[in-house]
């Protein structure tokens, strides 16, 4: 074997084990959120820290640098694998060990402090900790910039971890294009006469879970490689042969359970849909948070909340409940897509969701750049919310304390949600053109043809192509917010008689 070949072989074997260990850490996190006994919290945090220490040591192992230098790729695929390993190695190596340790310690504490502050509606209890986190993230960003990440820009260096290659300048331009049409649509919708009715009644847990399972099956969830459990915050977890989903049940709101399930099926199916040849390599994961979100959102919204699928859902729910409070499938479709003023991002409808994201995007950039002091965040949040949504935040738990992200150090993550919606818009346009009879299937409770198209054109590639290139290859067109905006205006224009 040449030096290059042997370096490649050793590197791939080492990486394979790292990927397996990373999957173990993910499985442990799943356990913690679903089945772990309550009294095991301290022990689990020590177990997680031990796994993190092992993974960090491997991701910064000096042998990685040597292998990367010596290995010569013999295919585009190998070149991409080397690129992804090299990127992870460079990022992990750029961050001083002390900083990484302090960040892990602080964010682990901060999560509890944030949860308590939110429960007590007391932002002052959280701000000093958030201030420390922002300082550490600024240090982390500076270290990454010094190592060449983010093209000299601190926020971009952080963003790059979730959406490789994306910049705040591009997002700014994208959002500037979206905002006027979203704001205008939102105003028209909220001012419309005869808005859809709410769904009345209480829906027993067992029935909701049965429906959730039926929906997951309708969207092609592979039960042989997954399972559904209950969790406080729905999530998906795992890859390759084992990607699990979770949901929650609110008796008065069955759509919470049903659509969070379909959303997580989108995430899990992306991971399960990746070519098995990519398993245990860096190609064997969703390529970015934005692309990941595009899958969860196109399952949930463009397919799941469409007239065709909700028609099938109406019949199932109506049969199970012996009738519903809405008159027929058309009324049910309008109810599913009801737009209402609200404070909470995770409960926002398709029309308003991206406006929540834009607000967080601007605030977190100001925090990282230092233009906004953490102490001034509550006021800045409330002022911005009033400006964007025309409503004053009634309590901090419905304001700046609503999301967990900043408490665990996720800065640069929020904008990928809106980007995912934009990608979903592009993909939906292409998918509908390629599968003209998709709605006929969805009306029978079968998302198969859509899911197949997504798997074939996007999911199976895993990390093989960079995010934007992946989406553009799948759609055959440049990424643009137009398809999403057109879709929203058409859909909600019809529902609200605009």
Contacts with its own copies by CB under 8 A lie at 16-17, 20-21, 23-24, 27-28, 31, 35-44, 46-47, 49-51, 53-54, 222-227, 240-242, 244, 279-280
Q: Is 293 annotated as a binding residue?
A: yes
| Ramachandran category for residue 213: left, alpha or beta (phi over 0 → left; psi -120 to 50 → alpha) | alpha
CB nearer to its own copies: pick between 156 and 271 = 271
Q: How far is the CB of 48 from its own copies (least distance, A)?
A: 9
Rounded to a whole number of angstroms, the distance between the first and last alpha carbons of the chain is 69
Place of tokens 């969830």: 221
- Alpha-carbon distance of 14 to 458, in angstroms, equals 28
Residues facing 245 on adjacent strands: 228, 236
Distance of CA 53 to the CA centre of its chain: 25
Q: Is 267 annotated as a binding residue?
A: yes
The answer to whether the CB of 374 falls within 8 A of the CB of 364 is: no
- Alpha-carbon distance of 333 to 336, in angstroms, equals 5
Least Cα distance to 387 among 359, 346, 347 occurs for 359
Q: How far is the CB of 251 from its own copies (least distance, A)?
A: 22
Distances (CA, A) of 439 to 262, 317, 429, 480: 17, 19, 13, 24
CB nearer to its own copies: pick between 43 and 340 = 43
The answer to whether the CB of 157 falls within 8 A of the CB of 390 is: no
Q: What are phi and psi of 228, to 5 degrees?
A: -120, 125
Q: How far is the CB of 244 from its own copies (least distance, A)?
A: 7
CB nearer to its own copies: pick between 36 and 183 = 36
CB nearer to its own copies: pick between 225 and 432 = 225
Q: Which of 140, 264, 300, 364 is catalytic?
A: 264
Q: How far is the CB of 293 from its own copies (least distance, A)?
A: 24
Q: How far is the CB of 325 from its own copies (least distance, A)?
A: 33
Q: Return the DSSP state at 199.
A: P
Q: Tell me whether strands 236-239 and 228-230 are parallel, antiparallel or unpaired.
A: unpaired
Q: What angle do CA 432, 437, 440 make, to 5 degrees?
A: 120
CB nearer to its own copies: pick between 137 and 244 = 244
Distances (CA, A) of 50 to 20, 25, 202, 244, 291: 15, 10, 44, 23, 30
Least Cα distance to 208 among 228, 237, 232 occurs for 228
CB nearer to its own copies: pick between 39 and 322 = 39
Q: How far is the CB of 286 from its own copies (least distance, A)?
A: 17
What are 205's two structure tokens? 């847990």
Q: How far is the CB of 242 from its own copies (least distance, A)?
A: 4
Active-site residue, 42 included: no
What are 253's two structure tokens? 């709101």
CB nearer to its own copies: pick between 113 and 331 = 113
- Alpha-carbon distance of 283 to 260, in angstroms, equals 27
Q: Return the DSSP state at 238.
A: E
Cite the annotated binding site by residue number.
Answer: 263, 267, 293
Binding site listing for Zn(2+): 263, 267, 293
Which residues are known to be catalytic? Answer: 264
């Amino acid at each position: 074997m040449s030096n290059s070949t042997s370096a490649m072989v050793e590197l791939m074997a080492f990486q394979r084990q790292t990927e397996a260990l990373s999957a173990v850490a993910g499985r442990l996190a799943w356990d913690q959120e679903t089945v772990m006994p309550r009294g095991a919290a301290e022990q689990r945090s020590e177990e997680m820290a031990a796994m993190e220490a092992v993974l960090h040591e491997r991701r910064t192992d000096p042998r990685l640098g040597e292998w990367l230098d010596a290995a010569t790729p013999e295919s585009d695929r190998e070149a991409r694998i080397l690129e992804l390993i090299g990127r992870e190695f460079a990022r992990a190596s750029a961050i001083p060990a002390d900083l990484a340790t302090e960040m892990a310690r602080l964010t682990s504490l901060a999560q509890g402090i944030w949860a308590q502050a939110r429960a007590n509606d007391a932002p002052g209890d959280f701000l000093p900790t958030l201030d420390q986190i922002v300082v550490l993230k600024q240090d982390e960003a500076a270290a990454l910039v010094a190592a060449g990440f983010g093209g000299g820009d601190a926020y971009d260096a952080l963003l790059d971890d979730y959406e490789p290659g994306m910049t705040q300048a591009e997002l700014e331009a994208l959002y500037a294009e979206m905002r006027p049409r979203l704001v205008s649509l939102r105003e028209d919708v909220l001012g419309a006469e005869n808005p859809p009715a709410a769904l009345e009644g209480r829906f027993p847990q067992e029935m909701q879970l049965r429906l959730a399972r039926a929906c997951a099956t309708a969207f092609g969830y592979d039960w042989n490689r997954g399972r559904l459990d209950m969790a406080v915050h729905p999530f998906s977890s795992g890859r390759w042969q084992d990607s699990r989903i979770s949901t929650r049940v609110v008796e008065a709101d069955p759509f919470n359970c049903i659509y969070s399930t379909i959303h997580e099926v989108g995430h899990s199916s992306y991971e399960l849909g990746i070519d098995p040849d990519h398993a245990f390599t860096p190609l064997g994961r969703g390529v970015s948070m934005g692309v990941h979100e595009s899958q969860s959102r196109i399952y949930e919204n463009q397919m799941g909340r469409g007239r065709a699928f909700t028609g099938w859902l109406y019949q199932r729910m109506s049969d199970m409940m012996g009738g519903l409070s809405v008159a027929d499938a058309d009324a049910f479709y309008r109810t599913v897509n009801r737009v209402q003023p609200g404070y909470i991002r995770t409960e926002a409808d398709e029309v308003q969701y991206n406006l929540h994201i834009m607000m967080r995007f601007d605030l977190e950039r100001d925090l990282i750049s230092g233009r906004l002091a953490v102490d001034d965040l509550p006021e800045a949040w409330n002022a911005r919310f009033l400006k964007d949504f025309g409503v004053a935040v009634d309590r901090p738990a419905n304001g700046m304390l609503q999301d967990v992200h900043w408490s665990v150090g996720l800065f640069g993550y929020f904008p990928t949600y809106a980007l995912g919606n934009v990608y979903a818009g592009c993909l939906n346009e292409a998918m509908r053109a390629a599968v003209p009879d998709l709605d006929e299937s969805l009306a029978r409770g079968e998302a198969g043809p859509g899911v197949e198209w997504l798997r074939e054109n996007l999911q199976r590639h895993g990390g093989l192509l960079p995010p934007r290139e992946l989406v553009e290859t799948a759609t055959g067109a440049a990424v643009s917010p137009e398809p999403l905006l057109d879709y929203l205006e058409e859909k909600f224009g019809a529902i609200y008689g605009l």
